[in-house]
Amino acid sequence: MLKGALGAGVTAATVPSLSGVATAHFPVEIAIEIQPENAENFIDLSDHETVTVVVKQSEVINSDGDSETFDPTDRPVRYRFGSRLALEDGEGARPVDDGEIREAENDSADDHSSLVLTFPVDEMGLDGGEETAWLYWERDDSGHHGYAGFDSVRVYRGYARGSGLIEQLQQLLEGETGSSSD
């Protein structure tokens, strides 16, 4: 039993040092909303060119252990978005621009301005099997520390752009007949 515990401890200590950004510190602190106009957060990798992410004002614990407000409208635009694996490897999509500030819809104390960012789909590292997409905000240019947020998604790798229902059905039928003749 001691060997197992020792092996697990060595593995836990070694694995983070194998990749540079995986050792980075990105606690989950930021509230985000992926594709706010799409209740299911559906991303079709073959059809969508970009995805919109809203970064909301959030209460975070800073590096000193103190609580502070993360206001995305007052922070540098240093975001990466995509699969958790892509972000941990230092990759992921960068916003296409500095974003757009969306003013609060009402004057309630709970409603604050947010930052709306657009990310290119082909740089996100999504493959069609993910149920969660992640956003990392980098505290500085090193990219090793910051905050993270996530939201559920339905990622789908659909048919090529421009293919209509008839073409899709033909592809399905050809796939079935092609595989049954082998």
DSSP sequence for 38-105:
-TT-EEETTT-SEEEEEEPPEEEE-TTS-EEEE-TTSS---EEEE-HHHHHTT-SBPPSSS-EEE--S
User: Does the structure show a pLDDT above 60 at 155?
Assistant: yes
Instruction: Categorize the per-residue pLDDT at 4 as very low, low, confident or very high, splitting at 50, 70 and 90.
Output: very low
Q: In whole angstroms, what is the distance from residue 137 CA to residue 133 CA?
A: 14
Query: Which of the given ranges, 94-108, 114-128, 136-150, has the highest pLDDT on average?
Result: 114-128
What pLDDT, on a 0 to 100 scale, did the predictor assign at position 13? 42
In three-state secondary structure terms, 161 is: coil
Instruction: Specify whether the CB–CB gap between 98 and 77 falls below 8 A.
Output: yes
Choice among 14-28, 30-44, 66-80, 139-153 with the minimum mean pLDDT: 14-28
Residue where the block lists tokens 């073409």: 167
d(CA 61, CA 69) in angstroms, rounded, equals 9
Using alpha carbons only, how large is the chain's radius of gyration in Å? 20
Would you state the pLDDT for residue 134?
Answer: 97
Confidence of residue 175 (pLDDT cuts 50, 70, 90): low
Q: Is the CB of residue 82 less than 8 Å from the CB of residue 151?
A: no
pLDDT, the chain, mean? 81
